[in-house]
Amino acid sequence: MKKKLKIGMIGYNFMGKAHSSAWRQVGRFFDLPVEIELHTICGRTPSKVEKARETLGWKKASTDWREVVNDPEIDIIDINTPNDTHAEIAIAAARAGKAILCEKPLARNVAEAEAMVAAVKEAGVVNMVCHNYRRIPAIALVKKMIDDGLLGDRIYHYRARYAQDWITDPNFPLVWRLRSEIAGSGTHGDIDAHIIDLGRYLVGEIAEVCGIMETFITERPLPDGSGFGKVTVDDAVSWIGRFRNGAMANLEATRFANGRKNHITLEINGSKGSLYFDFEDMNRLKFFSTEDPQGLQGFRDILVTEGVHPYLNAWWPPGHIIGYEHTFTNTIADFVQAVLKGCSVHPTFEDGLANERVLAAVQESARKRAWVSL
Ligand SMILES: NC(=O)c1ccc[n+]([C@@H]2O[C@H](COP(=O)([O-])OP(=O)(O)OC[C@H]3O[C@@H](n4cnc5c(N)ncnc54)[C@H](O)[C@@H]3O)[C@@H](O)[C@H]2O)c1
């Protein structure tokens, strides 16, 4: 009989739904030597968590995350709650000896992230941050192409933009993502964190930064209709920087780009070529090589759907494209393998902490109107 891994998942809304889908599907597409049991789902409101349990396919429901974290039957804690709860839940889960998958950003700030790293190190538990965009097959292919030298031995530029438009309406309510005591920061920790993570993954560590941040709408209606509250996070951030290897960084994240829904674009230019990726066309990668014959040079359009491409062996025949939810299943497949080996897999909590340090440096730079070194 196959060994079983039992999952306890905290939070059942947007990410809870995405992760539940991945936990349900992972063993059906990836050849794992283990059975996955969706053991307990947790939220605060009994009727809502019970409904989520039924809809998302979990065995038990709980309204107390401490009970889930301390349940001796559970092997893995998967954290999908707002950012202010990540540290407390993860530290308790580490002390209870559980493997931990935590949503990004790892925490609200560097101090919380440091405490989380210390806790997982002390407990020796497997840990991972869910920067699922690393597991888009086209992005994993970018990583392989850079490592194989296809862009040359020098990277000159990393340019990334993450643009959305869901809060451009001034009457959009003051949800938790717009309150610093819950979210930490705004667009910065929410979506800039993803393109920072991709920059660290694909190009290297960041050495210095210079940024600007803006809050365009400073007051919004409270969700319960009782009046107005202050927006205490950034709406947009833009920064330049330098990687330790000399590459230049140019990043922008905004929730004020009307018409842009989940627009993630990357361009990386190296001494032998360039790569371009657009999430809204996530099965494709554009590659320019200076080694192509003169007169025939131009951006190639690679449809990243073949068995030779990362993760695609687990999915469909060539040309049968995949989508957003597959990025979570690919992430969880790697996480499960890591749990079985007893060895963390990237991006680890240490990566989450490194990310927080970049976020904090950009915030400091914007505040001081000056360059900040890391
Ligand atoms: N990887 C990604 O691309 C991605 C995308 C969206 C969100 N996120 C991250 O996922 C996390 C959750 O975001 P979301 O969009 O799913 O939020 P959400 O508001 O949609 O859902 C939050 C969930 O947490 C639950 N919750 C809140 N406090 C709780 C508590 N004390 N105990 C138990 N449950 C509690 C809520 O009931 C809800 O089910 C955030 O950290 C966010 O940054 C990551």
Residue 311 · residue 140 · CB < 8 Å: yes
Q: If you measure from the C-alpha of residue 349 to the centroid of ligand 1, how many angstroms do you get, rounded to a whole number?
A: 18
Tell me, in angstroms, the distance from the centre of ligand 1 to residue 15's CA: 6
pLDDT of residue 316: 98
SS (H, E, C) 80-148: CCCHHHHHHHHHHHHHCCCEEEEECCCCCCHHHHHHHHHHHHHHCCCEEEECHHHHCHHHHHHHHHHHC
CA of 62 to the centre of ligand 1 (A): 16
- Please report the sign of the dihedral spanned by the C-alpha atoms of residue 198, residue 199, residue 202, residue 208: negative
Query: Ligand 1, residues 21, 50, 81, 192: which to mutate, most atoms within 8 A of Cβ?
Result: 81
pLDDT digits (tens, 9 = 90+) for 196-222: 999 999 999 999 999 999 999 999 999
**Contact partners, residue 17, CB within 8 Å, separation at least 6:** 56
Residue of 20, 21, 55, 103 to mutate, ligand 1, most atoms within 8 A of C-beta: 103
Nearest CA to ligand 1 atom 6: 15
| Cα–Cα distance, 37 to 27 (Å, whole number) | 10
Per-residue pLDDT tens for 5-22?
999 999 999 999 999 999
Q: What are phi and psi of 245, to 5 degrees?
A: -85, 10
Task: Classify 3 as helix, strand or coil.
Answer: strand
Decide if 82 contacts 182 (C-beta within 8 A): yes
List Cα–Cα distances, 265 to 136, 194, 268, in angstroms.
13, 11, 10
Residues with C-beta less than 6 Å from any ligand 1 atom: 10-16, 42-44, 65, 80-83, 85, 103-104, 130, 132, 190
pLDDT grade for 242, boundaries at 50, 70 and 90: very high
Q: pLDDT tens, 184-197?
A: 999 999 999 999 99
Nearest one of 266, 229, 232 to 247, comparing CA atoms: 266
Beta carbons of 103 and 87 less than 8 angstroms apart: no
Q: Which of 9, 10, 15, 21 for a ligand 1 pocket mutation test, highest count of atoms within 8 Å of Cβ?
A: 15
Task: Write out the two tokens for 243.
Answer: 């990687």
pLDDT at residue 2, rounded to an integer = 72
Ligand 1: centre distance to CA 18 (Å): 11
